[in-house]
Structure 1
Amino acid sequence: MKIYVFLLFVVSILNYICASSSGFYVDNGKDQTVLDKSMSRKQKLNFEKTMLNILGVRRKPKRHIASSNLYSSGPQYLLDVYNSLEGSKRHTDFNLDKDLPSVIESDVIMTFPMKGNDVNNMRHEKGIRLLFDVSDVPVGDTIVGAELRLHKFGIDEIGNITISVYQVLLDYNGERQLANVNNVNVLYTYEGWLLFNITSPFTTWIAFPSMNEGLYISVHKHSNPGHEIHPETVGLVSSIYDDTEDRQPFVTAFFKYGSSSLKSKIRRIRDVRKRRQKTESDVSYNFNPFLSESAWTLRSCQIQTLYVNFKDLNWQDWIIAPDGFASYYCGGVCDFPLNAHMNATNHAIVQTLVNLINPNEAPKSTCAPLTLGSMAVLYYLEDNSVILKKYKNMVVKSCGCH
């Protein structure tokens, strides 16, 4: 029995060593997808650096981030959005239909958990002030919109209430003042998430961080509008000490890539190209190591398997979803005749004919992507907050001869 257990241990170690030798899977030329084990340690590090640059992450977040609570309200919301983008089933009650236009328009979505609350600090002593740290927003990106979500439990009472959100401001004397942002009217019996548009105060906080004094939540009965009541008496979750992690207040912000962000991306791409030129002799990401030259020439231009596995790169501690992605690539030759399945352009057909007549006059046409798709990645930042990013042109959809 001990020998059997030891053998299992050895096999698991060997599997780990093999799996850690590379982060991607390719077609072995026999219609089988297998793990590429041909990378050296240096090549794998170069591959990881390139992937991190593409994802816009300077360095891998620390491993302790895996202990962050994925089941709190903000991360659960982003996981719901991710599943919606991927066409998967959703299991929460955030009612994403209202957010659909912002989700489609944005490139980056972030959630900010409540960092604290403060009671009895305003002249309206029955309300509550919520505090949010929004200092980690992407620099240079354009704000599409921002929302506050509050969860309300149903209360067995007849009547309506008005829940108001105010931006807390400081006057010239340092006294706190309130500016109304949004109001929602609901029944006492309503249960679910309440949505408030806070784009204006959020934009102010980003432009002037020192003005972030939080938001003030005020509740009034319709029957007695001049009398303020405590938020918890109507079922509002407004305390970080409540045993309701999946119901905590949070802010959601939607962004589009801005010009400065685009410039930094271009800069990163240039850096990646320079590194590729330096390491070209070490690794070629378009080369399939399982195909010999003779086997390669037998294949015409078509889409090939290339799957990047984040778990093999040991990134599962900071990337929440997906586990990896099928990037695919275009491989094969564009020899005459260019059949219909090669999706050849007219220019490629002419170029191939010229090459066939006189190879010195023109090179063969090249097998390259015709259409590319996007992918979404949900991951932790250094401060344990969660971000969802959409990356364009990451997945090959079809190939053709150019």
Structure 2
Amino acid sequence: TPDYFIKLYKSLSRSNGEGVGTPPYNADAIFGLMDNEKYSQRYYKFGIDETINQSTIKSSEFHIYRLPRKSKARNKRDAGHLIIKLYLVTSPARKNTSYGNLYVGSQMVFISQYGWIVLNLTDAMSKWVKEKIPNYGLYISIQNKDASLVSQSTVIFAQKSMRHMKRLQPIISIYTRQKIGTVNQDSEETDLSKAFENMDPRRYQKIYNGEFYVPPKRFRRSDSSETKDKVITRRKYCSLYPMQVFFDKMGWDQWIVAPHSFNAGICTGPCPFPLGQSYQPTNHAIVQNIWYNLNPNNDIIGPVCCVPHEFKTFVILLFNEQAVVLKSYEDMIAKSCTCR
């Protein structure tokens, strides 16, 4: 699994998959496309997942990892800069050159800098998906500030063909919106959501560094101090109970990376009469509850039912045929119960 998606998952959810904060660019599905070229250091080819064609693309980036040089000796040139230029390949004959290809963007880095480099790819992705320009891949050129080309032996990027490098392989991240509206995750504003809202130039580096990880959930002291009698009384009626779902028992663990299980919650138990406001019942539910208790033998009107009222978003990291996907599913984790 690509390193970026593991870190992003931990920045958007708790260990149980409960979503926290707003995903980057308000995306509800984030795709990670992996490079099909195992050995090339300058040419990259990615298959476009069919689902992406049916979504609204909010943003996209190209992630490459520069490996540190074997020689640790420093010289004066280490203080200089390199320019990494990204091109959209317009013909298979041009996959090893920048000439005749479509310029996408560039980034300046220190000669001594290694680690993740992220280049914006939104316009190029729109050309592939919306304008239906043939996808012949991407090409990068690396230049000195005087525009002279840098040799491939000077700047080496991680590839999945290299040993122990699969997590560092080149990827394209695509942030998509498949539903209208806003992702309904925890309303808490997180450092991650603020970083993307303010377009923090170090936001991707902070994700890779694990600076946005969601901390473990803290339980309120009042929850643990609730008396046993109160719990027993409350549990006689409609209440929220745990319902742990294990993906391996469903046969889904082959394609779901994280989490391995989650507590979906289940609402069960009879609804009390009369209905208290703690259940936030609708007027219809109140009337039905009264009428049923006045006419318990009525064959048509049944009792009101205990059902989920509020939900939390569930975040899942999974594989499909061509990509790794980080997806937010709304209305997946029951948060409270009501009678309807």
Work out whether the TM-score is over 0.5: yes
For 1:390 and 1:338, the matched residues in 2 are separated by 34
Matches within 5 A, 1:260-279: none
Would you say 1:398 and 2:316 are equivalent positions?
A: no
From the superposition, tell whether residues 392 and 208 of structure 1 become closer, same or farther in structure 2 (CA, over 3 Å).
Answer: same
Instruction: Tell me which residue corresponds to 2:107.
Output: 184
**Pairing partner for 2:265 from 318, 328, 345:** 328
Aligned equivalent of 1:14: none
Q: Matched residues in 2 for 1:329 and 1:240: separation?
A: 43
Distance 2:133 2:39 in 1: 18
1:106 matched to 2:27? The reply is yes
1:354 deviation in Å?
3.1
Q: In structure 1, how many angstroms separate the alpha carbons of the residues matched to 2:286 and 2:83?
A: 69
Residues 135 and 209, structure 1, Cα contact 8 Å, conserved in 2:
no
Aligned partner of 2:127 among 197, 200, 204: 204
Unmatched segments (≥5 aa) in structure 2: 16-20, 181-234
- Residue number in structure 2 paired with 1:386: 324
Report the counterpart of residue 195 of structure 1 in structure 2.
118
Q: Could you list the per-position Cα deviations for residues 94-128 of structure 1 after superposition, in whole angstroms to 9, with x for gaps in the alignment?
A: xxxxxx97636112112111111787xxxxxxx82
Note closer, same or farther for the CA distance 1:118–1:205 as it changes in structure 2 (3 Å cut).
Answer: farther
2:55 is equivalent to residue 141 of structure 1: yes
Q: Distance in 1 between matches of 2:56 and 2:253?
A: 29
Contact 2:88 2:104 (8 Å CA) reproduced: yes
Secondary structure at 2:79 match in 1: coil
Shift of 1:186: 1.3
Cα shift at 1:180 = 1.4
Give me the identity figure in percent. 26
> What amino acid is the match of 1:82?
Y
For residue 185 of structure 1, give the secondary structure of its aligned residue in structure 2: strand
Specify the code of the residue in structure 2 equivalent to 1:365: V
Give 2:10's aligned amino acid. N
The 1:248/1:382 distance shift into structure 2, 3 A limit, reads: closer
Letter in 2 for 1:395: I
1:366 aligns with 2:300: no
Aligned CA distance change for structure 1 residues 166 and 138 (closer, same or farther; 3 Å): closer
Report the secondary structure of 1:233's partner residue.
Answer: coil
Q: Which residue of 1 aligns with 2:14?
A: 87
Structure 1 pair 232/257, CA: closer, same or farther in 2 (3 Å)?
farther
> What's the CA shift string for 1:105-154, capped at 9, x where partnerless?
112112111111787xxxxxxx8222222244445122222110111245
8 Å Cα contact 1:367-1:400 kept in structure 2: yes
Taking the TM superposition and a 5 Å limit, the aligned residue runs for 1:295-306 are 299-306=236-243
- TM-superposed deviation, 1:310: 1.1
Question: Does residue 230 in structure 1 map to residue 169 in structure 2?
Answer: no
Distance apart, 1:337 and its partner CA: 2.6
Shift of 1:220: 1.4
What is the identity, as a one-letter code, of the residue corresponding to 1:390? S
Displacement of 1:79 in angstroms is 2.0
Paired residues, what number?
A: 269
Q: Distance in 2 between matches of 1:181 and 1:315?
A: 39
Matches within 5 A, 1:32-181: 70=1, 74=2, 76-87=3-14, 103=24, 105-116=26-37, 128-154=42-68, 156=74, 157-170=78-91, 177-181=100-104
Aligned AA (1:147) = E
- Deviation, 1:159, is 0.6
> In structure 2, how many angstroms separate the alpha carbons of the residues matched to 1:186 and 1:87?
34
Matching residue of 1:215? 138
- Contact 1:102–1:144 (CA under 8 A) maintained in structure 2: no
1:348 aligns with 2:262: no
Once the two structures are superposed, residues 191-246 of structure 1 have per-residue CA deviations (whole angstroms, 9 ceiling, x without a partner) of: 22111111122222234666112111111112x22x11124413x40655444333
Structure 2 length normalisation: TM-score? 0.69
Bigger-Rg structure (1/2)? 1
- What residue number does 2:207 align with? none
* Conserved 8 A contact 1:116-1:130: yes
- Quote the RMSD (CA, aligned, Å): 3.2
Determine helix, strand or coil for the equivalent of 1:335: coil
